[in-house]
Amino acid sequence: MAQPESLYGLLFPSDPQVSPDGQRAAFVLTDVHDTGTKERPAMRYRARLHLADGHGTRPLTFGDTDRAPRWSPDGTTLAFLRGQPAQLHLLPLAGGEAEKVTDLPGSVGDAQWSPDGEHLAFLSGAGRDEHADDEARVAERLSYRFNGLGWRTDVCRAVHVLNVRTREVRTLHMPPFEVRDFAWWPDGRGLLLATASDEAQDARGHADLVTVTLDGTPGETVAWGGSVGALAPHADGRILLLGRPGERGFVTDPHLHLYEDGAWRAVDAHTDRPAGNLVGGDSHVGAMPGRPAWLDAHTVAFLQTRGGACGVAQLDVRSGAITDRVFHAERVVAGFTANANGIAHLDESASDFPEVVLNGQRVTQNAARLGDLSPVAPARVTFGTDLGEGEGWVLSSGNGPQPALLSIHGGPHTAYGHAFMHEFQVFAARGYAVCYSNPRGSVGYGQAFVDDHHGRWGTVDAADLLAFFDACLARFPHLDRARTGVMGGSYGGFMTNWLTSQTDRFHVAVTDRCISNLISFQGTSDIGPWFWQAELGLDAHTAADVDRLWQMSPLKHAGNVRTPTLIIHAEEDHRCPVEQGEQWFTALKARGVPVRFVRFPGEDHELSRSGRPDRRVRRLHEYLRWLHTYVPAGADAEPVGA
C-alpha cells in the first residue's frame, strides 16, 4: 500500500531552459536524500543541473543546491546559482569546473545574460546588514513582511551587473521599492525594470516600468500601475508584459499587454482565458518559468489556462489570432522556455508525473521513481451553475464502498485540473475517493465566472461545491454517503470552515492554512491591507463593513460546528497567518468539538507543495490518521458517528 513516504522517492523536474540553438535543454532535477544519521534521519531536497541533447540526458553538476541554469547567448556557458546564500557560478560546457563569480552577503537571484554575452545582471540584497534586526525590527512601510521571504527591511534588493570578462561586480541601481521583474532590452540599451513608483503601489504588489542604462542612469517611466508577472521587451521598443492592470488585483484574469505608440492594449483578452499556468499541483519543487517569448517580430509564445488544462499557445500580436503550440485538453504545461529555434517544457497530467520535454521528445523518466505508487486517472464530473456547466473530477481506485472526500482549492482564483497531485494519489491508494472541482471564482472559464464570485464568499461557491459533491455521489454508487469528508487549504481552508459551520453533512474535516476571521486577517496577512477590498469590496477599517465581514467569517458561526476537525498550519505563513488557525482551534475546543491542531515550525504557506520533505510526509500522515479515525477506508470499515 502506498505511503506518504513515497514522496521521498520522487524526482522533481523544474526550470527547463532551451538553448539558443533550440537543440538542447538545461534543467533542474531535485531529489530527496538523507542528510542525517541512522538514528536521526533528516530528509532534505537536493537539486542538480542536467542537460538534454540529441545524445541523451546527463547530469552537469553534483552539488546539493544547484539551480536556475541560464544559457549564454553563444550557448557555450551556463550561469547558475549554488549555495546558501545563493551565489552566481559559471560552468563552461566544453569542460571544466564551475567557477564561483560572486561572493556577496545576500543571496543572488534572477540572473540574466546581456544580449551580447558580456554581462550578467542579477538582484541581491548585498550591502545591507542582514543581522541588523537582531535586537529590534522596525516597520515603517505597510508591506513589511511577505510569505516565503519573511521580514522585509526598507532596503530593497539592488540590481547588480557582473562583467563576465573581468569578473567585476558593480551595483547598477538601488531602487526605493522591490524590483518585481526585469529583463534586458534585446538591443542592449540596458535593463527594463518593473518596480513600484510609490509606497501605495508597493503595498499592493503593483509596479510601473523604467529603463536603466548600463551606466546606471534611469530613463523615462512607463506607467502601468498593475501587477507584473513577467516582462518581454522587443528590440524595436515595444513592451510585452504578462500581468493584471488596475486596482482589482488578482480578481482580474492575467493577460498579455503590449505597449506601443504610447499606449497599452490587451492582445489576448478576446479569448477570455487567462495567460499563465494557474492550475495547481503539488509536484513542482523549483522554478516554473512562464515568461512570454518573442519568436519573431509579431509572434509570441505563452502559457494559457483553459479550464483544468494549460498549454503553450502562439499569439500574433497584430491580429490577436491564437494557435496551439503544445496543448492537450487533459494535460498541463507547468513551465516552458522557447525561442525561434526550439522549445523546452514540463509536461504532466493527473496520472502522469511531470517530465521534461524538448521539441516534442520526453528527455526524463521521472515516473520510474514512483515506486509502489500506481497513479490512477480521474473521472470528469459536471454540475450545473447559474453560468452554465461546471466541472470537476473524482480520483479513486477500486470499486468497493469508499469514503468520499471533497477537496477545495485555494486562491480562490486558481484551478484544480490535470496537474499531478501526489497527495490525491496517496489518498486514492489508501482507499479514499477524492472529489475536486472548480466552483465559481475559479479561473480558466472566463472573467464572468470569476466575477460572479465577487463579494459573495460562502454563497455561490458553496452552492457549486455541494452541487458538485452531490453529482459525484449520484454518479458513483461506490462512494459511501455515510463516510464523507471535506478538506482544503488557504481559501479552501476558509470554505472547509464555512461549510462545517453551515451543515452537518460531513463526517470529518481537515482545514489547512485556513482563514477563520476575515476582520483580523486584514491586519495580519501580507496581502490583507488590500485583499478584502479587491475580493469583496469591503474594508475591515470601515465601520460600515465590519458587520458584513464578521457575518462572512466562519468564526462567527463556530457554535454550529459539530464536525471533527483537524487543523494544519505553518507557523511562518504570512499569507494566512497561524493566528487564523489558533482562533478556529480555540473556538472548536471551547465548544467540545473533536479537534487536533498541528503546527509546523519553519514552514510557510507553501508547506504542502514545496515544504521540507519530512514535514510534507508528516502532514500527510496527520491527514490519514484523522481520516482513519472518523471515516476509515476499506470494505470492512464501519463509519464512525454515522
C-alpha cell recorded at residue 430? 489508501
Q: Note if 605 is an active site residue.
A: yes
The region, left, alpha or beta by phi > 0 then psi within -120 to 50, assigned to residue 178 is beta
CA 201, 202, 206, 209 torsion-angle sign: positive
Q: Which of 124, 490, 553, 608 is catalytic?
A: 490
Q: What is the DSSP letter of 638?
A: P
Of the candidates 555, 568, 378, the residue with the CA atom closest to the CA atom of residue 475 = 378
Q: Note if 490 is an active site residue.
A: yes
Q: Which of 605, 608, 610, 628 is catalytic?
A: 605
CB atoms within 10 A of CB 347: 23
The overall longest dimension of the chain from CA atoms, in Å, is 74
Note whether 426 and 620 are within 8 A (CB).
yes
Note whether 432 and 402 are within 8 A (CB).
yes
C-alpha cell recorded at residue 125? 540584497
C-alpha cell recorded at residue 341? 529555434
Beta-bridge mates of residue 595: 565
Q: Whole-angstrom Cα distance, residue 638 to residue 642?
A: 9
The region, left, alpha or beta by phi > 0 then psi within -120 to 50, assigned to residue 532 is alpha
Q: Is 102 helix (H, G, I), strand (E, B) or coil?
A: coil
Of the candidates 439, 603, 576, the residue with the CA atom closest to the CA atom of residue 511 = 576
Q: Whole-angstrom Cα distance, residue 560 to residue 572?
A: 30
| Distance, first Cα to last Cα, the chain | 27
Edge-to-edge strand ranges of the sheet holding 25-34: 12-18, 25-34, 43-53, 56-59
Phi and psi, residue 66, nearest 5°: -85, 130
Strand duo 402-408 + 293-294: pairing: unpaired
Strand duo 119-124 + 158-163: pairing: antiparallel
Q: Whole-angstrom Cα distance, residue 524 to residue 163?
A: 43
Q: What is the DSSP letter of 204?
A: H
Q: What is the set of active-site residues?
A: 490, 605
